[in-house]
Amino acid sequence: MSKSPNRRKFLKSAVLAASVGAGRAQTSVDQPPAPDDPTKIPGSPARAYGERSRFEKTVRAPSSQGTSSGAPLQDLNGIITPSSLHFERHHSGVPDIDPRRHRLMIHGMVDRPLVLTVDELKRFPSVSRIYVMECSGNGFRNKGAKTAQEAHGLVSCSEWTGVPLALLLREAGVQPGASWIVAEGSDAAKMTRSVPLAKAMNDVLLAYGQNGEAIRPEQGYPLRLFVPGWEGNISIKWLRRIKVVDQPYMTREETSKYTDLMPDGKARQFTFEMDPKSLITYPSGGQKLGTPGFYEIAGLAWSGRGAIRKVEVSVDGGRSWRDAELQSPVLPIAFTRFRFGWKWDGSETVLQSRCTDEHGDTQPVLADLVKARGDHWSYHFNPIQSWKISADGSVQNALV
């Protein structure tokens, strides 16, 4: 039987596409090497939007379900997470929103309901603040995780720019008796969370900027709620509505989800603040030390309740502790980088860190956390992380 013209055309296109794809793959694999002396030849021209060097390969680690991706904490410098590497978490994909058509409505128990475009919102006085954001479920999949990114990557720190929510609420005129707000997103999941009015009038932002440019779609473009220090899920992305009310609305995300089942069968609810946490990022899981000698242990510490006041490091599995150096700046509700000089003698050992925030709250050991909350919960997981250094210099996750 002869092939139809349409089938011949289809097969020809498929062969062409395959050859083009193969050509692209060959090009990406066989990139020309960097010149031995870059001063001898002209470099590349200026670009409309900057790109990192082709030799840098650090990326986020997507989950198997495709609903989240972890920041590569072990590869970062300083305290700011690049926008392109900031962790993401969503429940029904990332919506594609035209900022010219987007609207924010503020209504409910207010004297003057507001409907604002993004451009109108940007006319209000703005502020920029450096804040950490952490998914409330960060770390609970630690068992079996090989790297810091896999174990604790659902946390990042950025400079956020936007309008204080308190300013808009005063503009709308909050009525007596109001005590909560309900925020709703524009994603297909219609993510909705209740926030106490006292917090909304304190430090909550309506953020449209991140690290000097517009927030990324994965972070809520063109507008998100940002609730400093509280679990990430409450910072509603793609924000479209704020309703001022007199009670929490008991949405799906604060009843069947984001509650903490306790050993006695009861559940903790509205556990907003993220607990103090620290993490050694070098050396950490998946890395390898060279010969014995001096190394600088480095890591990150943060707390949803305020500034970090102390980080201690143990190089003998928790038998003894010494203070690490806190690197400036030390900001409230932000990453604080710590460093500790260590001379490795080549023997097997376990490295740990623990932090204390300005309120005196300190990271617990895993056994104490399990005793208080049971071993089946999924949120607010902040025990001391252990990394085992083997005699050959390899580093493995030792949290048990």
Contact 172, 244 (CB under 8 A): yes
In a domain, 148, yes or no: yes
Nearest to 147, CA basis, from 203, 77, 75, 196: 75
pLDDT at 261: 82
In a domain, 293, yes or no: yes
- Longest CA–CA separation in the chain, Å: 82
- Mean pLDDT (whole number) for 103-128: 98
Same domain, 283 and 252: no
In a domain, 78, yes or no: yes
Instruction: Quickly count: other Cβ atoms within 10 Å of residue 109's Cβ.
Output: 19
Q: Is the pLDDT of residue 6 over 60?
A: no
DSSP 245-304: ESS----GGGTTSS-EE-TTS-EE----BPPPEEEEEES-TT-B--SSEEEEEEEEEE-T
Same domain, 227 and 283: no
Domains: count for the chain: 2
Same domain, 344 and 383: yes
Same domain, 215 and 313: no
**Both tokens of residue 102?**
């987007």
Same domain, 249 and 377: no
Same domain, 217 and 282: no
- Mean pLDDT (whole number) for 224-229: 98
- Mean pLDDT (whole number) for 353-364: 97
Nearest to 52, CA basis, from 85, 89, 86: 85
Q: Is the pLDDT of residue 322 over 80?
A: yes
**Both tokens of residue 242?**
């704020």
Same domain, 163 and 243: yes
In a domain, 41, yes or no: no
In a domain, 284, yes or no: yes
Of the candidate ranges 79-83, 127-131, 261-265, 384-388, the one whose mean pLDDT is the lowest: 261-265
Q: Tell me: the pLDDT tens digits for 194-217?
A: 999 999 999 999 999 999 999 999
pLDDT at 375: 75
Same domain, 251 and 284: no
pLDDT at 90: 93
**Both tokens of residue 326?**
């806190």
User: In 3-state terms, what secondary structure has residue 382?
Assistant: coil
Q: Which H or E run contains 118?
A: helix 118-121
Q: Which H or E run contains 6?
A: helix 5-29
Confidence of residue 65 (pLDDT cuts 50, 70, 90): confident
pLDDT, averaged across the chain: 91
We report the CATH number of the domain holding residue 86 as: 3.90.420.10
Same domain, 346 and 319: yes
Domain extent, residue 151, equals 61-258
pLDDT at 7: 42
In a domain, 80, yes or no: yes
- End residue of a domain, out of 226, 258, 290: 258
In a domain, 240, yes or no: yes
Q: Is the pLDDT of residue 55 over 60?
A: yes
pLDDT at 13: 39
In a domain, 55, yes or no: no
pLDDT at 11: 38
Contact 321, 354 (CB under 8 A): yes
- End residue of a domain, out of 231, 258, 285: 258
Same domain, 169 and 233: yes
Q: Tell me: the pLDDT tens digits for 277-298?
A: 999 999 999 999 999 999 999 9
- End residue of a domain, out of 225, 258, 291: 258
Same domain, 254 and 304: no
Stronger pLDDT, 93 or 371, i.e. the higher one: 93
Distance from the Cα of residue 315 to its chain's centroid: 28
Contacts for 372-378 with beta carbons within 8 Å, 24 or more apart?
373/260, 373/262, 373/263, 374/261, 374/262, 374/263, 376/261, 377/140, 377/260, 377/261, 377/262, 378/137, 378/140, 378/260
The amino acid sitting at 275 is D
Same domain, 221 and 157: yes
Q: Is the dihedral of CA 72, 374, 264, 277 positive or negative?
A: negative
- Mean pLDDT (whole number) for 382-400: 95
Q: Tell me: the pLDDT tens digits for 171-189?
A: 999 999 999 999 999 999 9
Contact 87, 60 (CB under 8 A): yes
Question: 133 has which bridge partners?
Answer: 156
| Residue position matching structure tokens 């400093």 | 228
Question: 114 has which bridge partners?
Answer: 106
Q: Is the pLDDT of residue 28 over 80?
A: no
We report the CATH number of the domain holding residue 358 as: 2.60.40.650
DSSP 128-194: EEEEEEE-TTTTTT-TT--SHHHHH-SEEEEEEEEEEHHHHHHHH-BPTT--EEEEEESSTT--EEE
The conformational region for residue 376 under phi > 0 = left, psi -120 to 50 = alpha, else beta, is: alpha
